[in-house]
Amino acid sequence: MGWLRLAVWFVGVCGMGLIAAGSVLAQPAFPNKPIRMVVPFPPGGTLDVLARIISEKLSANMGQPVVVENRPGASGAIGAEMVSKAPPDGHILMIFSNTLVTLPSLRRDLPFDPLKDFSPVIEVAATPTVLVVHPSFPARNLTEFIAAARATKGGVSYNSPGNSSPPHLAGELLARAANVPMVHVPYKGSGPAVNDLVGGQIAAMMAPLNLVLPYLRTGRAFAIAVTDASRARDLPNVPTLREAGLQSLAPVSSWFALLTAPNTPAALVARLNAEVNKVLQSPDVRARLEGQTFELRGGKSESLAALMREEAARNARIVAEAGIKVN
């Protein structure tokens, strides 16, 4: 009887091992279908440029198409809502700016919580924001800009990529710190905003540097000051707003990151994080992005989550103290 019990035990253990092995083998490969990368703004803007460069390399590395999908509207809220309700299978990504975590400070009707309804994946890059003017505007430095703005009936109009965006915050802070009348004109993305600036439809813009640098180099636009804490690598002779005389002004910068649907398994988030880190470290991608003024970041998903919390709290204070309202 002893040998019989031993045989039964052995068969049972082997059976459980086979079941466990079968469960592992039954797990589907990831990714097992195309990955969607949602850009919550129109084509041609900063996020769109980043998405297309990253998706191309990510697709080659992961063996599945990474399809860029533009879903603009409501300062990015339309695309973000879609991702917040997507299946948590790792096959959807959204590239966003720190606009996302500022939205709750300016809109009480958001259908999602930026800090709870997404799974952070990775911070990818940052780019300076710069106050630029059309050549017809009579200013080439901050002192002249302030004087011209005060002399403009009704205030000088400036545009930005949209409500709640870092450029929008920078413009509102400048208007209050310098006591100048400035009228914000929100656009549905940085691409259309730059087109209207260069075309002369609007006098000034708080612009992502990567999109206006070609026009600054050809004289079709002029840089007044950088809104960040330090000068831009590609504009070494252009001062920050603080250096230009507004020492009390809080610096405003723009950074960009990837997130996915809420409750995505940690293993899938880790895989996506590792793959995008690999993309950002590849020499060809670094050369392309750094050549367009981007500062590459990378890092852990936990670091992005902490950055989002810090930025949300900081921008909520800025919005409250400056009395910023959505146009």
Hey, what long-range contacts does 323-326 have (CB within 8 A, 24 or more apart)? Answer: 323/176, 324/106, 324/168, 324/169, 324/172, 325/106, 326/106, 326/107, 326/163, 326/164
Q: What is the mean pLDDT of the chain?
A: 89
Side chain identity at residue 18, one-letter code: L
Q: In what order do the strands lie in the sheet with 35-39?
A: 66-70, 35-39, 92-97, 254-260, 119-127, 295-296
43-65 pLDDT, tens digit each: 988 899 999 999 999 999 999 99
Beta bridge partners of 39: 70
Note whether 210 and 293 are within 8 A (CB): yes
Omega cis (within 30) before 31 = yes
pLDDT of res. 181: 92
Handedness of CA 227, 231, 235, 239 (dihedral sign): positive
The reported pLDDT for the residue numbered 133 is 98
Q: pTM (2 decimals)?
A: 0.83
d(CA 224, CA 238): 7
Q: Which domains does the chain have, with CATH numbers?
A: 35-126+254-322 (3.40.190.150), 129-226 (3.40.190.10)
Question: Which residue positions in the chain have pLDDT lower than 70?
Answer: 1-28, 327
Contacts of 85 (CB under 8 A, 6+ apart): 261
Is residue 265 within 8 Å of residue 90, measured between CB atoms? yes
- In sequence order, what are the beta bridge partners of 94? 38, 259
